[in-house]
Amino acid sequence: MESLHSNYVKRTQKDYSLSFKLQVVQEIE
C-alpha cells in the first residue's frame, strides 16, 4: 500500500507539473 500510494503521488505531481507548465505557456502566449 505504501509503495502504491508513493507511485500515485509521483504520477500526480508529474501530471500537475506538466499541466502547470502548459498553462504558463498559454498565459505567456
Confidence of residue 21 (pLDDT cuts 50, 70, 90): confident
- Max Cα separation, the chain? 42
Could you say which DSSP state residue 1 is in?
A: -
State the Rg of the chain over Cα.
Answer: 13
Confirm whether pTM is higher than 0.85: no
Q: Which 3 state secondary structure label does DSSP give 29?
A: coil
Domain count, the chain: 1
pLDDT of residue 1: 60
> Is residue 21 within a helix (H) or strand (E), and if so which, with residue range?
helix 2-28
**For residue 9, what pLDDT is reported?**
78
Of the pLDDT bands very low, low, confident and very high (cuts 50, 70, 90), residue 7 is confident
Q: Which domain holds residue 2?
A: 1-29
